[in-house]
């Protein structure tokens, strides 16, 4: 090969190499360019993925904090629960067998032919056999007892333990739960621990609501897939939520149906299972789950549901009870056993069948449970609005010592003084009598309203509060808030002021002639009139009170002075400011019945003021005592003067304005009381007391229009007929030191010689016995002092 040829070949090779290098260089640059262009997209995707994971982590941390704060802190808002007084049974107690039955019915006990379980009772003509439920009182726990209460007429003869034959000196029934002080959403529950719940309830719950509860970690993929397939194939919507998810939805989230809410539910369920064990989750679920409504109150948790539907504590539930509650979880309203018993029974039996299929109960247990009825009580034993007026008083007294948030959230147990038997008797009588009064006086139905307060003289415990004729409904509480003129109910304050002074006695003559009085700085002249439009001249002090003479009472008040009389009224318990005018003597002051009750409470207690109270004990939810509401007693009037005043009030019943009571109650009770009537017959009052009850009744119209009723024709029959149902004890006054009983003339007021049809035996404080002797015809013969003087002069001669 020539040299040129070699050069040419080298030139071609060189060019080829240059071309190849150029091609490789171009390819390399293109590859680098591609790399430079694709790298930012990958990096952005990677960063977005990291950011999303970080955001999810932060969000999960937030959700975890929410879960932990709610789960480890105060899980539930627990309303304060209020109980009535426990019924105490003892030998010799005045109690009708029918009243014991009524108490047991209010407690939700079931009437049976043979008592086998707690919460059941059997009735015979002269005895009742019952088995009590365990209950923790303020002074300790009381277990379940099967007892026989034997009656002799209307008296308890004996209380015997059926298991060992032992007789009880005193036995307490559990108190009736009368309501609560609820949160704004009206949720109510009774907390239970996991180990208190029967195993058959847990098994049925798992079998129906979440078969793989013990195997998943909050979310069950199989259940979700099964629910999705069922929905997509048109076989119906099937739930895929686990028990943990249900708890999260009810406990933390709103009920809205959105993807976001569902995603939160699943995340929080997983977090909940990572943090807490299955027993904690299940216990919380058992206390949170919703079981229906009681009026405006929401029933939550198995503890309250067991009481509400069966009248049983949760540990007393049988398999058929558990099956019904589990059945209701699908739709508490739709499967309500009281409203839809057939539907509820079918669903309950389905639960039993499914539980049996999964092997949680034996075939024998299945057959036994299947044969049982629904076994629900007629109504919930812990109703919200049975005693709203009384609960109002309880709440007002509690607010003096506790913050409202604590009352609504801390689960306090409040033992009140309410006597359901007294309350129901007063409610029935008030409603019946108002209807009869409307018919008799040709008034429109519903025209009249009423209120009443009943308490115990010695302790000040309020037994009943009736805020209106529709007593079971919340509304205006007339017993506490209706301020109306009290009429002659104020008069005892005037007469007590007089009887505390040595110049006055029950026989002191008062002037009942026309009176004109002009208050300083006032242009009008006050001219009080008697109800009968007559004037009665000189009348003994007791007659003025018993017959409610306005003129003589007003003149006595003016002699005593307005200020001292008002001070006496305040000592007796009137809290509201009283108008410092003479018209107050005749009841121009407007007061609610509760304050009038306090005034007469002090009189009935012999001059010892015992503040009215509606609470006995307050316990924490664990049973620890918080505050004991002990009796506070203050002597505000001398026993001697109150003794005289009480005798005058007894004479008002025996022969004064309240004498019509004798047609309803026996005179042997020696009741004391006072009628009250206001101008235009707008308000009708009666206040009085027996040996064991103080009661005040008001009747009127909410628009303050005339009713045509006096105290004797309106309030008095209601008072008397209520007392007739309570079997009251007679008034037996303990005679204080320094009291002497003397026969006094009914008209002339002096001492009467020998027997006389015009005489009345009156108590006198020593030193105030009338010196003037009066003949039976009222003629004055001579005084004891004159007779002694003449006798001494004869001796000296």
Same domain, 69 and 94: no
Domain-located, residue 52: yes
Residue 199 lies inside a defined structural domain of this protein: yes
> Strands 751-752 and 772-774: what pairing?
parallel
Of the listed ranges 56-65, 462-471, 768-777, the one predicted with least confidence: 56-65
Q: What is the 3-state secondary structure (H, E, C) of 664-733?
A: CCCHHHCCEEEEEECHHHCEEEEEEECCCCEEEEEEECCCCCCCCCCHHHHHHHHHHHHHHHHCCCCCCC
- Answer yes or no: is 769 within a domain: yes
**pLDDT at residue number 250:** 77
Residues 121 and 51 in one domain: no
Over range 293-308, report the average pLDDT: 88
| In a shared domain, residues 588 and 607 | yes
* Helix, strand, coil abundance in the chain, percent, nearest 5: 45, 20, 40
Which band of pLDDT confidence, cut at 50, 70 and 90, is reported for residue 380?
A: low
How distant is the alpha carbon of residue 136 from its chain centre? 19
Residue 375 has pLDDT above 80, yes or no: yes
pLDDT band, residue 755 (cuts 50/70/90): confident
Same domain, 526 and 588: yes
The domain boundary, picked from 144, 178, 212, lies at 178
Asked if residue 525 is part of any domain, the answer here is yes
CA angle, 346 as apex, 345 and 348 as ends, to 5°?
60
Predicted pLDDT of residue 206: 93
Mean pLDDT computed over 249-274: 75
Active-site hit among 322, 381, 416, 488:
488
A 10 A CB-CB count for 155 gives 13
Instruction: Examine residue 404 and state whether it is found in any structural domain, yes or no.
Output: no
Statement to judge: residues 598 and 489 lie in one domain: yes
pLDDT score recorded for residue 239: 52
The answer on pLDDT for 364 being more than 50 is yes
Mean pLDDT computed over every residue of the chain: 87
Burial of 415 (0-12, 13-18, 19+ CB in 10 A): buried
Are the CB atoms for 697 and 718 separated by under 8 Å? yes
- Looking at the DSSP bridge assignments, the partners of residue 540 are 509
Annotation marks residue 88 as catalytic? no
pLDDT of residue 13: 44
Residues 210 and 261 in one domain: yes
With H, G, I as helix, E, B as strand and everything else as coil, classify residue 488. helix
Task: Look at residue 529 in the predicted model and tell me its pLDDT.
Answer: 95
| pLDDT tens digits, one per residue of 24-65 | 455 455 544 444 445 577 677 776 777 767 777 777 776 677
Q: Please, what is the Cα angle at 306 between 415 and 325, to 5 degrees? A: 155
Number of domains in the chain: 5
Find the domain containing 151 and state its range: 85-178
* Banded pLDDT at 379 (limits 50, 70, 90): low
Residue of 209, 283, 427, 773 with catalytic role = 209
Question: At which residue do the structure tokens 């009352």 appear?
Answer: 407
Are 502 and 637 found together in one domain?
yes
Highest mean pLDDT among 16-25, 56-65, 220-229, 317-326: 317-326
CATH classification of the domain holding 512 = 3.40.710.10
The answer to whether residues 100 and 246 belong to one domain is no
| In-domain check, residue 326 | yes
| Residue 407 maps to a domain | no
503 carries an active-site annotation? no
| pLDDT value of residue 297 | 82
Q: What is the DSSP letter of 738?
A: T
Q: What is the CATH number of the domain that holds 95?
A: 3.30.2060.10
Whether residues 527 and 582 fall in one domain: yes
* Same domain? 343 vs 446: no
- In terms of domains, do 689 and 668 share one? yes
Q: Is residue 410 part of a domain?
A: no
Q: Are residues 522 and 574 in the same domain?
A: yes
């Amino acid at each position: 090969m020539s040299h040129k040829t070699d050069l040419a070949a080298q030139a071609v090779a060189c060019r080829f190499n240059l071309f190849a290098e150029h091609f490789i260089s171009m390819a390399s640059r293109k590859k680098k360019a591609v790399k430079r262009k694709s790298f930012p997209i990958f990096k952005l995707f990677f960063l977005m993925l990291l950011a999303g994971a970080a955001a999810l982590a932060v969000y999960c941390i937030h959700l975890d904090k929410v879960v932990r704060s709610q789960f480890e802190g105060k899980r539930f808002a627990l309303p304060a629960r209020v109980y009535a007084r426990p019924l105490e049974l003892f030998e010799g107690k005045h109690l009708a067998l029918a009243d014991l039955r009524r108490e047991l019915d209010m407690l939700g006990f079931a009437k049976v032919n043979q008592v086998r379980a707690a919460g059941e009772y059997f009735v015979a003509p002269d005895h009742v056999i019952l088995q009590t439920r365990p209950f923790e009182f303020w002074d300790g726990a009381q277990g379940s007892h099967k007892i026989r209460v034997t009656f002799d007429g209307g008296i308890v003869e004996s209380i015997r333990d059926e298991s060992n034959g032992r007789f009880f000196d005193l036995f307490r029934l559990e108190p009736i739960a009368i309501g609560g002080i609820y949160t704004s959403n009206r949720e109510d529950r009774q907390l239970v621990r996991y180990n208190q719940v029967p195993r058959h309830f847990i098994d049925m719950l798992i079998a129906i609501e979440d078969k793989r509860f013990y195997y998943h970690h909050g979310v069950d993929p199989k259940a979700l897939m099964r629910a999705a397939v069922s929905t997509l194939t048109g076989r119906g919507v099937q739930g895929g939520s686990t028990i943990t998810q249900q708890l999260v939805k009810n406990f933390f989230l709103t009920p809205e149906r959105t993807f976001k809410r569902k995603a939160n539910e699943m995340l929080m369920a997983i977090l909940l299972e990572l943090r807490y064990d299955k027993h904690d989750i299940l216990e919380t679920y058992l206390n949170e789950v919703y079981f229906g409504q009681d009026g405006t109150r929401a029933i939550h948790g198995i503890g309250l549901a067991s009481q509400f539907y069966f009248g049983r504590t949760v540990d007393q539930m049988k398999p058929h009870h558990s099956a019904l509650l589990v059945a209701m979880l699908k739709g508490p309203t739709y499967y309500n056993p009281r409203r839809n018993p057939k539907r509820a029974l079918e669903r309950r039996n389905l639960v039993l069948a499914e539980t049996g299929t999964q092997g949680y109960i034996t075939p024998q247990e299945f057959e036994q449970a299947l044969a049982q009825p629904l076994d629900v009580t007629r109504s919930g034993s812990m109703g919200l609005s049975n005693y709203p007026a009384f609960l109002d008083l309880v709440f007002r007294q509690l607010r003096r010592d506790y913050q409202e948030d604590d009352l609504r959230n801390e689960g306090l147990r409040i033992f009140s003084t309410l006597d359901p038997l007294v309350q129901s008797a007063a409610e029935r009588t008030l409603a019946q009598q108002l209807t009869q009064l409307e018919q008799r006086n040709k008034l429109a139905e519903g025209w009249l309203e009423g209120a009443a307060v009943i308490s115990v003289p010695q302790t000040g415990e309020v037994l009943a509060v009736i805020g209106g004729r529709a007593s079971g409904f919340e509304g205006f509480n007339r017993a506490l808030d209706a301020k109306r003129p009290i009429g002659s109910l104020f008069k005892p304050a005037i007469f007590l002021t007089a009887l505390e002074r040595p110049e006055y006695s029950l026989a002191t003559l008062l002037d009942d002639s026309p009176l004109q009085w002009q208050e300083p700085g006032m242009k009008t002249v006050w001219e009080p009139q008697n109800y009968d439009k007559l004037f009665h001249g000189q009348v003994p002090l007791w007659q003025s009170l018993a017959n409610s003479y306005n003129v003589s009472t007003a003149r006595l008040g003016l002699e005593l002075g307005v200020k001292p009389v008002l001070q006496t009224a305040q000592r007796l318990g009137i809290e509201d400011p009283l108008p410092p005018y003479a018209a107050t003597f005749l009841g121009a002051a407007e007061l609610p019945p509760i304050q009038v009750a306090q005034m007469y409470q002090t009189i009935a207690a012999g001059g010892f003021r015992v503040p009215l109270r509606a609470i006995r004990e307050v316990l924490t939810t664990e049973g620890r005592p918080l505050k004991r509401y002990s009796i506070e007693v203050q002597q505000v009037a001398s026993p001697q003067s109150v003794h005289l005043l009480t005798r005058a009030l007894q004479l008002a019943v025996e022969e004064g304005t309240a004498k019509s009571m004798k047609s309803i109650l026996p005179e042997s009770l020696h009741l004391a009381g006072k009628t009250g009537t206001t101008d235009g017959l707008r308000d009708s009052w009666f206040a009085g007391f027996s040996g064991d009850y103080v009661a005040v009744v008001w009747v009127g119209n909410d628009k303050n229009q005339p009713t045509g009723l006096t105290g004797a024709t309106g309030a008095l029959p209601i008072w008397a007929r209520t007392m007739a149902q309570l079997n009251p004890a007679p008034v037996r006054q303990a005679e204080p030191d320094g009291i002497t009983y003397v026969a006094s003339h009914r008209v002339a007021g002096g001492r009467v010689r020998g027997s006389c049809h015009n005489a009345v035996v009156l108590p006198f404080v020593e030193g105030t016995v009338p010196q003037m002797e009066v003949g039976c015809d009222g003629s004055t013969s001579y005084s004891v002092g004159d007779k002694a003087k003449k006798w001494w002069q004869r001796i000296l001669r």
